[in-house]
């Protein structure tokens, strides 16, 4: 058993976590360094209890095996389903594209329905597979560390020789548990946003271009004429609207073939009439590099519309109306609503356990919002009456803030705020956010101050309501900040949005005491001998208490611990090593 623990210690020392994103939060840094702390700790521990073998099995090995079987095994199943559905969809699509347009309309419609059904299944399988990979990577942060943490705690509990080592370990354990809980909260918040994003993507699976990006890309079939007839070749095409450049890469590149990627400049795009060709979903383009027209076949009618829209096709393009929830504005009625909600919460619900975390009824929330924002008598609602409970009021406030046409902290400053939260330098992190707050429009800054002051008041009652600044950051990060484009990359920055709100709550007095001296740019941190940065939490190493002579080191050994530096000074004594108990 002792040999196994030593090997385990070496494994922990060399283990590296994979993190998604370009920057780690402070809590993730603690988690990333935790295994090294565990490794150093295990190196000092004398393992002599046979019962710990059973504890190791119950607390460590089985949870890790369950994680591997349930999470990673489930991901492999998703992969198999994705590959199977992909093969099925593309084989059906190839058969479908060879259908003659001369067939009966009913047969064509039935074929279209089958392809749409398979496309939906394949799209859903790919979404589920990608989402499952992301969930495994994110949940690994705490699902792997926690069993090890439980195993270590059990080890010290049952080993009477490590009492003092356990006393050193407990503060670190509490801090690491807090980091794990914060990371778990960030994960839960991000997962909810990703679920919403996945749902929206399922509702509109044919979108081929990102919002705000002029490029459209995807598969097209090209008609190519040969001496012995006509063939259709599959290409992966990328079109840049501003430069009018079309890049076509053949997907079935045969060995020895001379044909490679084509870079063309678009001159015109015209929809191909159905009765003029024996294929569906076709359109013609003219380019500077090739004489004559090039006939392309899209994957569906909707896909053809997207390509023609991007290429400024000559035929008119019709869009189906998009139903969108009416957006709320940051106006006088909105300020009145927020003030009334805050007053109601601070009057009758500030000590309620889980305030703002507990969700109210959707029906009641909509009823309250419809009544308050009624154009005939806006704001004519008494939130102090018994008609509205605290859950409904807090959920309505969050709903209003989330559905503003632009978030309170604006799209313009979103990227800068996230970058500030990612900084390793704690002084710069606070100073940059301080400066950016005063770049907000006046009404946005006024609303933010009103809300943060309220959250500070709520957190002052954390003993009763169990809501800390970190918890409030998880709830109000996605509420006060959001990226302009819904992408998975933007979702991965939600944890840094939460950190911004947490900093605003913890440093409210400093930030709102007045603007920094220069708000044109985030302040440069003052010069230091060493910049004040976040350091990973460590297990304290303090000298042991006095023991009988046979437990401690000799006087000569202790004297050797004081070594001279190259400059002639004396280093501080190194922590005493725990000595082995004589047999």
pLDDT at 47: 54
pLDDT at 339: 93
Give the mean pLDDT of 323-338.
Answer: 71
pLDDT at 527: 46
Sheet strands (E) in 315-454: none
In angstroms, the CA 105 to CA 123 distance is 26
In angstroms, the CA 368 to CA 383 distance is 9
Whether 246 contacts 216, CB under 8 Å: no
Give residue-wise pLDDT tens across range 253-308.
Answer: 665 555 678 899 998 898 887 777 788 889 989 899 888 888 999 988 888 888 88
Half-sphere exposure of residue 579: CA atoms within 13 angstroms, side-chain side: 18
pLDDT at 207: 47
| Residue 410 neighbours by CB under 8 Å, 6+ apart | 440, 441, 444
Give the mean pLDDT of 539-557.
Answer: 44
DSSP 485: S
In angstroms, the CA 433 to CA 515 distance is 11
5-9, 444-448, 577-581: least confidently modelled range: 577-581
Q: Would the pTM of this model clear 0.75, i.e. be above it? A: no
pLDDT at 16: 85
Give residue-wise pLDDT tens across range 67-81.
Answer: 888 888 888 998 999
Give residue-wise pLDDT tens across range 449-505.
Answer: 999 999 999 999 999 999 999 999 999 999 999 888 777 778 888 889 999 999 999
Give the mean pLDDT of 56-66.
Answer: 86
Give the mean pLDDT of 179-203.
Answer: 83
Kindly state the percentage of the chain with pLDDT values over 70: 81
Whether 428 contacts 525, CB under 8 Å: yes
Burial class of residue 562, CB neighbours in 10 A (0-12, 13-18, 19+): exposed
In this prediction, residue 158 has a pLDDT band, given cuts at 50, 70 and 90, of low
The 10 Å Cβ neighbour count of residue 244 is 16
In this prediction, residue 105 has a pLDDT band, given cuts at 50, 70 and 90, of confident
Tell which residue, 509, 459, 498, 458, has the closest CA to residue 475. Answer: 498
Element (H, E) at 49: none
Whether 221 contacts 251, CB under 8 Å: no
Name the 3-class secondary structure at 441. Answer: coil
pLDDT at 567: 42
- The torsion angles phi and psi of 231, rounded to 5 degrees, stand at -135, 160
Give the mean pLDDT of 529-557.
Answer: 50
Whether 487 contacts 210, CB under 8 Å: yes
Give residue-wise pLDDT tens across range 340-369.
Answer: 999 999 998 899 999 998 888 888 888 898
Give the mean pLDDT of 378-390.
Answer: 84
Element (H, E) at 583: none
Delineate the domains of the chain, giving CATH numbers in brackets.
1-203 (1.20.1270.60), 215-311 (2.30.29.30), 332-512 (1.10.555.10)
Whether 483 contacts 369, CB under 8 Å: no
Give the mean pLDDT of 400-419.
Answer: 91
229: alpha, beta or left? (left if phi > 0; alpha if psi -120 to 50):
left
Distances (CA, A) of 347 to 241, 335, 338, 467: 56, 18, 14, 17
Q: Give the CA diameter of the chain.
A: 102
7-11, 70-74, 120-124, 516-520: least confidently modelled range: 516-520
pLDDT at 523: 53
Q: What angle do CA 535, 540, 544 make, to 5 degrees?
A: 160
Token output for 185: 């909260």
The 10 Å Cβ neighbour count of residue 218 is 16
In this prediction, residue 516 has a pLDDT band, given cuts at 50, 70 and 90, of confident
Give the mean pLDDT of 376-384.
Answer: 81
Residue 567 or 454, more confident: 454
Token output for 461: 């009652």
Whether 373 contacts 413, CB under 8 Å: no
3 state SS for 206-266: CCCCCCCCCCEEEEEEEEEEECCEEEEEEEEEEEECCCCEEEEEECCCCCCCCCCCEEEEE
Tell which residue, 164, 201, 219, has the closest CA to residue 41. Answer: 164
pLDDT at 213: 59
Whether 263 contacts 245, CB under 8 Å: yes
In angstroms, the CA 190 to CA 495 distance is 7
């Amino acid at each position: 058993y002792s040999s196994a623990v030593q090997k385990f210690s070496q494994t922990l020392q060399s283990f590296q976590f994979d993190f998604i994103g370009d920057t780690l939060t402070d809590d993730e840094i603690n988690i990333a360094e935790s295994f090294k702390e565990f490794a150093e700790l295990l190196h000092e521990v004398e393992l002599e209890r046979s019962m710990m073998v059973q504890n190791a099995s119950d607390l460590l090995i089985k949870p890790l095996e369950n994680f591997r079987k349930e999470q990673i095994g489930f991901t492999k199943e998703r992969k198999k389903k994705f590959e199977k559905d992909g093969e099925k969809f593309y084989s059906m699509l190839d058969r479908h594209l060879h259908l003659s347009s001369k067939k009966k309309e009913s047969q064509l419609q039935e074929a279209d329905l089958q392809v749409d059904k398979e496309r939906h299944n394949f799209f859903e399988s790919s979404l589920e597979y990608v989402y499952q990979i992301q969930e495994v990577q994110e949940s690994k942060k705490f699902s792997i560390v926690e069993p090890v943490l439980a195993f270590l705690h059990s080890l010290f509990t049952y080993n009477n020789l490590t009492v003092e080592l356990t006393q050193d370990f407990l503060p670190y354990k509490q801090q690491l548990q807090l980091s794990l809980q914060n990371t778990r909260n960030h994960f839960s918040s991000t997962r909810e946003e990703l679920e919403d994003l996945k749902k929206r993507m399922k509702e509109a699976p044919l979108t081929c271009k990102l919002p705000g990006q002029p490029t459209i890309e995807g598969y097209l079939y090209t008609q190519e004429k040969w001496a012995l007839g006509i063939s259709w070749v599959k290409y992966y095409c990328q079109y840049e609207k501003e430069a009018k450049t079309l890049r076509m890469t053949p997907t079935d590149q045969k060995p020895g073939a001379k044909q490679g990627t084509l870079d063309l400049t678009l001159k015109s795009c015209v929809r191909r009439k159905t009765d003029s060709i024996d294929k569906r979903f076709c359109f013609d383009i003219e380019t500077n590099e090739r004489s004559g027209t090039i006939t392309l076949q899209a994957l569906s009618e909707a896909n053809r519309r997207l390509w023609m829209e991007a290429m400024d096709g000559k035929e008119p393009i019709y869009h189906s109306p998009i139903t969108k929830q009416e957006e709320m504005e940051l106006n006088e009625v909105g300020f009145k609503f927020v003030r009334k909600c805050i007053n109601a919460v601070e009057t009758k619900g500030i000590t309620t356990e889980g305030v703002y975390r507990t969700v109210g009824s959707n029906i009641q929330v909509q009823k309250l919002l419809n009544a308050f924002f009624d154009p005939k008598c806006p704001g004519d609602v008494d939130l102090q009456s018994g008609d509205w409970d605290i859950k409904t009021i807090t959920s309505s406030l969050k709903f209003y803030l989330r559905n503003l046409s632009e978030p309170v902290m604006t799209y313009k400053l979103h990227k800068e705020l996230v970058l500030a939260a990612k900084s390793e330098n704690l002084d710069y992190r606070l100073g940059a956010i301080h400066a950016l707050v005063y770049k907000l429009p006046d009404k946005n800054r006024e609303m933010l101050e009103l809300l943060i002051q309220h959250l500070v008041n709520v957190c002052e009652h954390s003993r009763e309501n169990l809501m800390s600044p970190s918890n409030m950051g998880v709830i109000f990060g996605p509420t006060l900040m959001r990226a302009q484009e819904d992408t998975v990359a933007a979702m991965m920055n939600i944890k840094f949005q939460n950190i911004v709100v947490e900093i605003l709550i913890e440093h409210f007095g400093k930030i709102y005491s007045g603007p920094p001296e220069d708000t044109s740019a985030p302040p440069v941190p003052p010069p230091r001998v060493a910049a004040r940065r976040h350091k990973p939490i460590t297990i304290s190493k303090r000298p042991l208490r006095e023991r009988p002579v046979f437990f401690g080191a000799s006087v000569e050994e202790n004297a050797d611990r004081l070594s001279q530096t190259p400059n002639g000074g004396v280093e501080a004594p190194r922590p005493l090593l725990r000595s082995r108990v004589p047999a």
